[in-house]
Amino acid sequence: MNGIKQQILEILDKDCRVPLEQIATMLGRDMTEVAQHIDELEKEQVILSYRPIINWDRAERQRVEAMIEVKVTPQRDFGFDAVAKRIYRFNEVKSLYLMSGGYDLLILVEAPTLKELAQFVSDRLSPLETVTGTATSFVLKRYKQDGVVFDDGGEDERLVVSP
Amino acid sequence: MSERFINPAVSAVPPSAIRKFFDSASTMKNAISLGVGEPDFVTPFSVRNSAIDSLLDGETQYTTNYGILPLREEISRYLSERYQAGYDPHTEVLVTVGASEAIDIALRAMLRPGDEVLIPEPCYISYQACTRFAGGVPVQVHTHAANDFELDAKDLEDCITPKSKVLILSYPNNPTGAVLPREKLEAVARVAIKHDLFVICDEIYSELAYDGFIQVSMASLPGMWERTMIISGFSKAFAMTGFRLGYMAAPQPYVVAAAKIHQYTIMCASRQSQVAAYYALKHGRETGYADVIRMRESYNQRRRLMLKAFRDMGLECFEPRGAFYMFPSIKKTGLSSEAFCEKLLQEKAVICVPGSAFGDSGEGHIRCCYATAISKLQEAFERIAAFLKTC
């Protein structure tokens, strides 16, 4: 991928609401060129979605999150992909990764209540024939996500005027 | 009574105009500051961590006067690889408390009473003051907006007298953001050789040049190494202002002379700062200066935003290719740069620094630093645009 596309991605990665005109100015390019690059990035599915990072704790929405380490039996011809697909279709699954190390899949799940989350593990995930074991850990507090620190004062410590 | 006990040479030097402005600006609520002179990045964590490790290891003692050898070796290697200027780390590199100390002791080591120091303006505020403290006579060499504030060899030559001894050169420049292209640097070098001048080169912003421009070091030009001292530090490119760490590199006699003052007055720079600087250079070298490049690209994006914003609001501004400042002209408002900044602060709570603080050639301009969050820059642009409509 060319340098300009990388730079566009880096700007959007920090703030996807930056207006097109501003991106163009920041990179010293014209707006149509930048728009075209972004179109291509979307078509090529490099950019999949534009979403904010929300601190739900401040949005008065109850929810429970957990990380589940899952051991599975890979399937002939499909490896882990088929079982991964099976699992990520559940709405509760926010993220799913294939991992190296002591287990195979790491799932980030989210549910409105502890009970519903427990049901997901016991009624939907564990009974899958390829799943051989699970270990669930609940998220107690988020400090940082995707490079964004939660509850960061973000104050400028610099003197307002310096030589 | 105090008059009797205060050195008239010190009393004669006016307090920094920036300081004066700071006092009124620092009390403003909701003010947006474009008046800062430092990066808005915190020092990369791995660099900070190296200082923490050093403390945990109990490294709390003095270092040698010249600074820890591994750091001097890295500095020597850095200058040679990045700026084609070779220095022996044992005898030709001195680690100082910021580039500021290096400027001070260099001048004190070199000047005799009455020696003239050629200082292209606008420039960093301490050159004139340090020259006076050292018993020298500062001589202004004007640079002009029409030439993008690049030093013209002819203007320099016009200021030379039999007493001229030292030229202080600083590109990329604070406050203008100007750089000095190779051919102009070579013309200045010819003047220096012809008139037997020594050049103190403040290269603190060298890493911060944009759109492919590379600031050639004076010391790398033929015939110049022997009459040049490079002064630089870690504050700007490595975002380490509070560490207060700089250095000088020059032929041995000059470093030895400056080191004499350093050993009697400073002893050595903070050990933790030296360790952090060593790590910053070593890590930088091993990673292709990834942190520096990342920060530089971020400044460059904001530089373009500010330039467009100023031009859109009708402020005349040459395109600066270095440092992190813009130096637009506010002459069309009819206000002096100090009056403009005062009024802008009172009416719109935006802090800029009057160009006159950096020498007479800066009058009619304001220094605006773009090393600030984009959201704040945008808000500042709106306020300045609204202010200009009332002028």
Nearest-neighbour CA in chain A from B18: distance (Å): 7
Interface check for B312 against chain A (CB to CB < 8 A): the answer is no
pLDDT tops 80 at residue B72: yes
| Cβ pairs A/B, distance under 8 A | 58
Return the percentage of chain B with pLDDT > 70, whole number: 100
B209, B86 Cβ separation under 8 angstroms: no
Residue A71: give its domain's CATH number.
3.30.70.920
Yes or no, beta carbons of A161 and B125 under 8 Å apart: no
* pLDDT tens by residue, B163-183: 999 999 999 999 999 999 999
Residue of chain B whose Cα is closest to the Cα of A21: B305
Chain A residues within 8 Å of chain B (Cβ atoms)? 7, 11, 22, 25-28, 156, 158-163
The pLDDT value given to residue B21: 73
Q: Is residue A157 part of a domain?
A: no
- Do B12 and A155 form a contact (C-beta atoms < 8 A)? no
Which of A25, A156, A158 is facing B305, going by the closest CB pair? A25
Please state, in angstroms and rounded to a whole number, the distance separating the CA atoms of residues B173 and B369: 12
Contacts of A158 in chain B (CB under 8 A): 33, 36, 38, 40
Pick the CATH number of B45-286 from 3.60.10.10, 3.40.640.10, 3.40.50.2000, 2.70.98.10: 3.40.640.10
Average pLDDT of the segment spanning B326-348: 96
Q: Say if residue A26 is in the same domain as residue A67.
A: no
B22 interfacial to chain A (CB closer than 8 Å)? yes
Q: Is B24 on the interface with A (CB under 8 A)?
A: no
pLDDT at B10 over 80: yes
**Host domain of residue A99:** 61-140
In a shared domain, residues A78 and A131: yes
Q: Report the number of distinct structural domains present in chain A.
A: 2
Determine whether the interchain pair B305/A162 forms a contact, defined as Cβ–Cβ distance below 8 Å.
no
Min Cα–Cα distance to chain B from A157, Å? 9
Contacts 24+ apart (CB under 8 A), B13-20: B13/B128, B13/B129, B13/B132, B13/B133, B16/A163, B16/B125, B16/B129, B16/B357, B17/B125, B17/B338, B17/B354, B17/B356, B17/B357, B18/A161, B18/A162, B18/A163, B18/B125, B18/B353, B18/B357
Residues from chain B that touch A160, judged by Cβ atoms under 8 A, are 22, 25-26, 28, 31, 33, 35-36, 351
Task: Name which of A144, A157, A161 to mutate to probe chain B: the one with the most chain B Cβ atoms within 10 A of its Cβ.
Answer: A161
Report domain extents, chain B. 2-43+290-390, 45-286
In this structure, is residue A148 part of a structural domain?
Answer: no
Average pLDDT, chain A: 93
Note whether residue A56 is domain-resident. no
Assess whether pLDDT exceeds 90 at residue B2: no
Could you give the percent of chain A with pLDDT greater than 70?
Answer: 100
Summarize pLDDT for A63-103 with one digit per residue, the tens: 899 999 999 998 888 899 999 999 999 999 999 999 999 99
ipTM over 0.85: no
Contacts of B236 in chain A (CB under 8 A): none
Q: What is the mean pLDDT of residues A96-121?
A: 96
Write down the CATH number for the domain with range B2-43+290-390: 3.90.1150.10
Using the beta-carbon criterion (under 8 Å), do B37 and A163 form an inter-chain contact?
Answer: yes
- Measured between beta carbons, which residues in chain A are less than 8 angstroms from residue B22? 159-162
Among A141, A130, A117, CA closest to A56: A141
Asked whether the beta carbons of B85 and B217 are under 8 A apart, the reply is yes
Tell me which of A51-65, A80-94, B114-128, B303-317 is least confident.
Answer: A51-65
pLDDT higher than 90, residue B1: no
Q: Is residue A37 part of a domain?
A: yes
Q: Write the CB contacts of B184 (distance below 8 Å, at least 6 apart in sequence).
A: B150, B151, B152, B153
Output the pLDDT for position B24: 75
Q: Rounded to whole angstroms, how far apart are CA atoms B101 and B118?
A: 19
The answer to whether A160 contacts B37, with C-beta atoms less than 8 Å apart, is no
Same-domain check for residues A79 and A133: yes
Does the pLDDT at position B291 exceed 90?
yes
Mean pLDDT of B348-361: 95
What's residue A152's pLDDT? 73
Computed over every residue of chain B, the mean pLDDT equals 96
Interchain contact, B18 vs A159, CB within 8 Å: no
Taking CB atoms and an 8 Å limit, are A26 and B305 in contact across chains? yes
Pair (A68, A29) in one structural domain: no
Test B21 with A161 for CB contact under 8 angstroms. yes
Whether A160 maps to a domain, the answer reads no
When CB atoms are compared, the residue of B25, B36, B305 closest to A158 is B36
Q: What confidence tier does B246 reach under pLDDT thresholds 50, 70, 90?
A: very high
B34 touching A (Cβ < 8 Å): no
Residue B375's φ and ψ, nearest 5 degrees, are -60, -40
Task: Please report whether residue A161 resides in a domain.
Answer: no
- Strands B366-369, B325-326: pairing is antiparallel
Q: What is the CATH number of the domain that holds A28?
A: 1.10.10
Confidence band of B250 (pLDDT split at 50, 70, 90)? very high
Give the pairing of strands B198-202 and B228-233.
parallel
Q: Which of chain A's residues have a Cβ under 8 Å away from the Cβ of B38?
A: 158, 162
Instruction: Indicate yes or no: CB of B301 within 8 angstroms of CB of A27.
Output: yes
Report yes or no on A18 lying in a domain. yes
- Indicate whether B307 pLDDT > 80: yes
**Average pLDDT in the B322-326 region?**
98
To the nearest whole percent, how much of chain A has pLDDT over 90? 78
Give the pLDDT band of residue A155 (cuts 50, 70, 90).
confident
Q: Is B48 on the interface with A (CB under 8 A)?
A: no
